[in-house]
Amino acid sequence: MHFIQAINLKLRYLAFFGAVLILFGGILRCRNEIAGESRQNQTAREIVQEWNRLALELERFTSGYRPPVTSRMFAYLGMVGYEASLPALPEYVSLERYCEGYKSASPPPKGYYLPDGLNAAYAECLRNFFLEAPIAMREKIGQLEKKWSEQSNATPEIHRASTIFGRETAKAVWRWSATDNQGHDGYLYNYDRNYQPPVGKGKWQPGGDHPMPAMLPHWGQARRFANWADSISVKPPVVYDTLPGTSYHTEALEVFTISQNLSKEYRWIAEFWSDDVEGLTLTPAGRWIMIANQAIEKSDVPFVVVLETYLMVGWALNDASVVCWQGKYQYNLERPESYINAFIQADWKPLHDSPSFPAYPSGHAAYGAAVAEILTSQIGSDFSLTDRTHDHRREFAGKPRNYSNFRAMALENATSRIFLGVHFRMDCKEGLRIGKKVGDQMLDLRLRRDELSGKLKAESGS
């Protein structure tokens, strides 16, 4: 009897350990599928991330790179990376289909080494976009290009052909960029001294302690990358009123009330997401590239997902910016500071200077919501992340914060503008709404040939 019990016990142990081995075997197979990517794709993944990190340094220290301009640059950078990868990704289609007037470069006929093409394309692209960057920053472009070029595993002939194709791809994208009359040179003309904002109750006017002319008042006419983004428009804000108890007055009173007893947590959130001090922080748009960088590094997603993500994030930032700026200068809504000073407390000040453009809707909120939708789809809906964007900064509250998902990050980012005192809640809610719509519509891009074919068949009813 004892012998039979011992045998049964051993069988149960064997079954248990067998199940464990099957489980771990499945996990290992999944990991091997990611780790088993070709060395070429692994290198390409590193190149994409490193060039995007350098682009953030460049936008931080180059004059003229304010949020809409940065958004646009990353849209083209994502496009360059995608187009430079196509010879190695025959199942993907060129963006010629989505970008009217864009003509892609001819691929090399006798072999292609993806890392060389990507490296050359990014270097050429950033040299074009950062003509006004400080010399030390422009030198970093050459240093990074040289680093990856010297690590090439291609034959001299293929290395040369791949490098030429990468540069020609960047030039083709740059030529197409130049056809956007409103956006192409935006970094040179941030502030329009000839623009006269409309005068009236609740209308924005330059003011505060450091008044500046309107920033990019015509950016709403810049190029949108997704044609369907034209269907997104900004809803009217709450009706202006000065009477206590009305919706508009309540919006302003909320900002004022929160500021009177701002908790340590709220102040941390406000400063953590500020991201709009030229030369000190990234722009609000660049912040979401930084978040994408951190998420991609942690997630270990394959190269093609990295490529798609940077493309869609860049395009979404651009389109959210254009839609948002169109709404800003359509409604020309004042900042909380001017209303509170006039009707609640004359000497009230926000934590941060009010930006030199209208309040409604919030650009911060729009950027965050758009990118959060893309990262949620590409990387995961329950993806936890510790945001270390401002790690080691001492000028403001930059201690890392933990988040359970990307949408939670976007919501806190939007709400931070109320805590900072530069936005009404309605600004943030509308920014979140239009940002989510942009993100959702960007996810409708069909980049693979089979996906595109399926969509076209569905649309034709065949």
Q: Where are the domains of the chain?
A: 38-179, 198-462
Give the residue from 47, 163, 48, 43 showing the smallest Cα distance to 108.
163
pLDDT digits (tens, 9 = 90+) for 283-314: 999 999 999 999 999 998 999 999 999 999 99
Q: Which residue reads 């700026």 in tokens?
A: 325
Give the residue from 22, 77, 131, 24 showing the smallest Cα distance to 286.
77
At the topology level, CATH places domain 38-179 in Vanadium-containing Chloroperoxidase; domain 1 (1.20.144)
Q: Which three-class secondary structure string do you get for the chain?
A: CHHHHHHHHHHHHHHHHHHHHHHHHHHHHHHHHHHCCCHHHHHHHHHHHHHHHHHHHHHHHCCCCCHHHHHHHHHHHHHHHHHHHHHHCCCECCHHHCCCCCCCCCCCCCCCCHHHHHHHHHHHHHHHHCCCCCHHHHHHHHHHHHHHHHCCCCCHHHHHHHHHHHHHHHHHHHHHHCCCCCCCCHHHCCEECCCCCCCCCCECCCCCCCCCCEECCCHHHCCCCCHHHHHCCCCCCCCCCCCCCCHHHHHHHHHHHHHHCCCHHHHHHHHHCCCCCCCCCCCHHHHHHHHHHHHHHHHCCCHHHHHHHHHHHHHHHHHHHHHHHHHHHHHCECCHHHHHHHHCCCCCCCCCCCCCCCCCCCHHHHHHHHHHHHHHHHCCCCCCEEECCCCCCCCCCCCCEEECCHHHHHHHHHHHHHHHCCCCHHHHHHHHHHHHHHHHHHCCCCCEHHHHHHHHHHHHCC
Binned at pLDDT 50, 70 and 90, residue 277 comes out as confident
pLDDT digits (tens, 9 = 90+) for 13-27: 333 333 333 333 333
In the predicted model, is pLDDT for residue 82 greater than 50?
Answer: yes
In the predicted model, is pLDDT for residue 95 greater than 80?
Answer: yes
pLDDT digits (tens, 9 = 90+) for 337-373: 999 999 999 999 999 899 999 999 999 999 999 999 9
Q: Does domain 198-462 have CATH number 1.10.606.20?
A: yes
Q: How many CB atoms lie within 10 A of CB 356?
A: 20
Lowest mean pLDDT among 12-16, 173-177, 317-321: 12-16
In the predicted model, is pLDDT for residue 123 greater than 90?
Answer: yes
Q: Which residue reads 């040299």 in tokens?
A: 127
In the predicted model, is pLDDT for residue 206 greater than 80?
Answer: yes
C-alpha torsion angle, residues 28, 32, 34, 38 (rounded to 10): 180
Binned at pLDDT 50, 70 and 90, residue 1 comes out as very low
In the predicted model, is pLDDT for residue 227 greater than 70?
Answer: no
Count of alpha carbons within 13 Å of 308, Cβ hemisphere only?
A: 20
Tell me the C-alpha distance between 377 and 436, whole Å. 12
In the predicted model, is pLDDT for residue 29 greater than 60?
Answer: no
Tell me the C-alpha distance between 259 and 252, whole Å. 11
Percent pLDDT > 90 in the chain is 81
Binned at pLDDT 50, 70 and 90, residue 2 comes out as very low
Distance of CA 396 to the CA centre of its chain: 23
Mean pLDDT throughout 56-66?
A: 95
Question: What pLDDT was estimated at residue 462?
Answer: 54
- List 203's β-bridge partners, or say none: 333
Region of 279 (left: φ > 0; alpha: ψ -120 to 50; beta: rest) is: left
Task: Report which of residues 8 and 197 the model is more confident about.
Answer: 197
